[in-house]
């Protein structure tokens, strides 16, 4: 089942849950967003290639844009390349970072892993992350994050490199960090772009998944206690 945020003849905006890959891959043949979108469109008698404009990691939830035709895909891809698509993330990290900051550190694939990324100043691709501290509770921090670039695992790698890994991140966080969580606390909260046909500015807000809000509530209660 998909959560459709917005749809017209050109675009589809969906709220992707955590633990759902965007594309099929080895071991993930039917449990992906691409499968879900194909099934959804089939029920409407529609069919089109899967054109995902902004991608999210498997364990990251939130708003995604899909183009339903080649023209929309081309226009939105240019916006993405020119950094004209606004993306705002919310994340809970361990510890207390500075009030705000910019992390500029290139990222590359780790040599011994097909999944893991790492900071690599010699061979990595440029990656820039901006963050703002919103709230501190029980030695965890709620951050608002904006990306200038969109590298795989960018937010996760950058925050871990500062000593503040994401809560629930099984790859870059402490090995026991997922025991008290049902998912990773990283969510694509807001998404803004110019509609490829009308030229209208479109802004969408994606609600936090239940496990994320429950974790925040627990942190606040523990802080008061």
Whether residue 57 lies in the annotated active site: yes
Three-state secondary-structure class, residue 223? helix
Q: Are 166 and 157 in contact (CB under 8 A)?
A: no
- C-alpha 22/C-alpha 44 separation (Å) is 21
Q: How many CB atoms lie within 10 A of CB 188?
A: 23
**What are the structure tokens assigned to 76, written together?**
């939105």
**What are the structure tokens assigned to 89, written together?**
């993330």
State how beta strands 61-67 and 186-194 pair: parallel
Phi, psi of 5, rounded to the nearest 5 degrees: -85, -40
**What are the structure tokens assigned to 104, written together?**
């500029």
Q: Of 79, 57, 34, 64, whose CA–CA distance to 195 is shortest?
A: 79
Phi, psi of 60, rounded to the nearest 5 degrees: -100, 130
Catalytic: which of 8, 10, 19, 57?
Answer: 57
- C-alpha 37/C-alpha 48 separation (Å) is 10
Catalytic residues: 57
């Amino acid at each position: 089942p998909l959560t459709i945020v917005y749809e017209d003849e050109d675009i589809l905006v969906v709220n992707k849950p955590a633990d759902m890959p965007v594309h099929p891959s080895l071991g993930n043949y039917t449990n992906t967003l691409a499968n879900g979108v194909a099934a959804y469109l089939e029920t409407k008698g529609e069919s089109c290639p899967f054109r995902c404009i902004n991608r999210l990691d498997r364990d990251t939830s939130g708003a995604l844009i899909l183009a339903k035709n080649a023209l929309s895909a081309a226009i939105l891809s240019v916006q993405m390349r020119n950094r004209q698509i606004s993306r705002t993330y919310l994340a809970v990290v361990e510890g207390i970072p500075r009030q705000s900051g910019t992390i500029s550190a290139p990222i590359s694939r780790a040599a011994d892993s097909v999944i893991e990324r790492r900071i690599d100043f010699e061979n990595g691709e440029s990656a820039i992350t901006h963050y703002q501290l919103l709230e501190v509770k029980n030695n965890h921090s709620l951050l608002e994050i904006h990306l200038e670039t969109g590298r795989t695992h960018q937010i996760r790698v950058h925050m871990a490199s500062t000593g503040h890994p994401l809560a629930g991140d099984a790859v870059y966080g402490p090995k026991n960090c997922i025991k008290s969580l049902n998912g990773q606390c990283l969510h694509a909260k807001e998404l803004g772009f110019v509609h490829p046909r009308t030229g209208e500015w479109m802004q969408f807000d994606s609600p936090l998944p239940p496990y994320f809000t429950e974790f925040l509530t627990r942190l606040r209660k523990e802080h008061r206690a």
